[in-house]
Amino acid sequence: MIEFEAMLNINKTIANSTEKQRKWAKIFVATLAVILAVADAFFAIKDSKGFPTFSSLFKSHENHMLWFTFLFGCLTGKIFYNRFTHQKKKEQKGIILIGIVVVILITIGLLLKQVHVEPVIKLLLFVTGILCASRYWPQYKNPAGQKRNFTAFENAD
């Protein structure tokens, strides 16, 4: 009985610390978003003093930002069309694939002479990023910690 209670207490402590870590992760993500928003607003106000906003920086370096277009698509895909796997290797392969595409796009961006890139190409890269992340970059989940069954869409195994 005492052993059972001790185990219960240990489980509670682990659950509490996990919840705390998740809370800190949420605070970190929110802080980064706020920093970016406040900085952009500040640059917009100081525009006359030569501080470009993130948007104008993107506009003046469109060719160098092809990789970001693709990666932004990947992150969007990871948020809304994420799939899960029980094999760590599948996730690692996905990260390597995305990394290779990003390096290729950085190289293409640096080689391009003209700055302007047609919107349709950027849209294609964005959508390709979503599809690549959803199809080839599943998220590893420890089978022991799985609380519910994956849906047919979510299951990447």
- Which residues in this chain contact another protein in the complex, by CB under 8 A? 18, 21-22, 25-26, 28-29, 32, 35-36, 39, 43, 49-52, 54-59, 69, 72-73, 75-76, 78-82, 119, 122-123, 125-126, 139, 141-142, 145, 153
Q: Which residue has the tokens 């970016």?
A: 36
DSSP conformational letter for 62 = G
CB 142, min distance to another protein, A = 7
Identify the H or E element spanning 140.
strand 139-140
Q: Shortest approach of another protein to residue 110 CB, angstroms?
A: 15
Least distance to another protein, CB of residue 1, Å: 29
Q: Do residues 157 and 140 make contact, with C-beta atoms less than 8 angstroms apart?
A: no
Q: Which is nearer to another protein, 4 or 50 (CB)?
A: 50
Q: How far is the CB of 4 from another protein (least distance, A)?
A: 24
Which letter, b or e, does each residue of 64-81 get, where b requires 16 or more Cβ atoms within 10 Å of its Cβ?
A: bbbbbbbbbbbebbbeee
Rounded CA-CA distance 89/82 in Å is 17
For another protein, which is the closer residue by CB, 1 or 17? Answer: 17
